[in-house]
Amino acid sequence: MGKLDGRVVLVTGAARGQGEQEARLFTEEGAKVVLADVLDGQGEAVAEELGGLYVHLDVGSADDWGRAVAEAKAAYGKIDGLVNNAGILRFNELVSTPLDEFQQIVRVNQVGTFLGIKHVAPQIAAAGGGSIVNTASYAGVTGMAYVGAYTATKHAVVGLTRVAAMELAGQGIRVNAVCPGAIDTAMSNPAQLDPEADTEEAARALGELYRKLVPLGRVGRPQEVARLALFLTAEDESSYITGQPFVIDGGWLAGVSVL
Ligand code: NAD
Q: 2-17: per-residue pLDDT in tens?
A: 999 999 999 999 999 9
- Do 215 and 172 lie in a common domain? no
CB distance 173 to ligand 1 below 6 Å: no
Where is average pLDDT lowest: 47-51, 94-98, 128-132, 195-199?
Answer: 195-199
Q: Mutation test of ligand 1: which of 18, 61, 246 has the most ligand atoms closer than 8 Å to its C-beta?
A: 18
- Do 212 and 226 lie in a common domain? no
- Do 200 and 130 lie in a common domain? no
Q: How would DSSP label each residue in 100-132?
A: HHHHHHIIIIIIHHHHHHHHHHHHHHHTT-EEE
- Within-domain flag for 2: no
Smallest CA-to-CA distance from 176 within 138, 222, 228, 139 is with 228
- Do 202 and 101 lie in a common domain? no
- Do 51 and 134 lie in a common domain? yes
- Do 42 and 130 lie in a common domain? yes
- Do 192 and 87 lie in a common domain? no
- Within-domain flag for 3: no
- Do 227 and 213 lie in a common domain? no
CB distance 135 to ligand 1 below 6 Å: yes
pLDDT the model gives residue 259:
83
Contact present, 248 and 220 (Cβ < 8 Å): yes
Domain span including residue 205: 188-219
Contact present, 163 and 121 (Cβ < 8 Å): no
**Which residues are tagged catalytic?**
150
Quick one: average pLDDT of 40-68? 98
- Do 21 and 118 lie in a common domain? yes
CATH code: domain of residue 22: 3.40.50.720
- Do 92 and 195 lie in a common domain? no
Residue nearest to atom 6 of ligand 1 (CA): 13
- Do 236 and 135 lie in a common domain? yes
CB distance 19 to ligand 1 below 6 Å: yes
Alpha carbons 111 and 230: distance in angstroms, whole number:
24
Alpha carbons 229 and 235: distance in angstroms, whole number:
12
Number of domains forming the structure of the chain: 2
Alpha carbons 97 and 128: distance in angstroms, whole number:
44
pLDDT in tens, 169-218: 999 999 999 999 999 999 999 999 999 999 899 999 999 999 999 999 99
Taking the whole predicted model, whether its pTM rises above 0.85 is answered as yes
The rounded Å distance from CA 119 to ligand 1 centre is 20
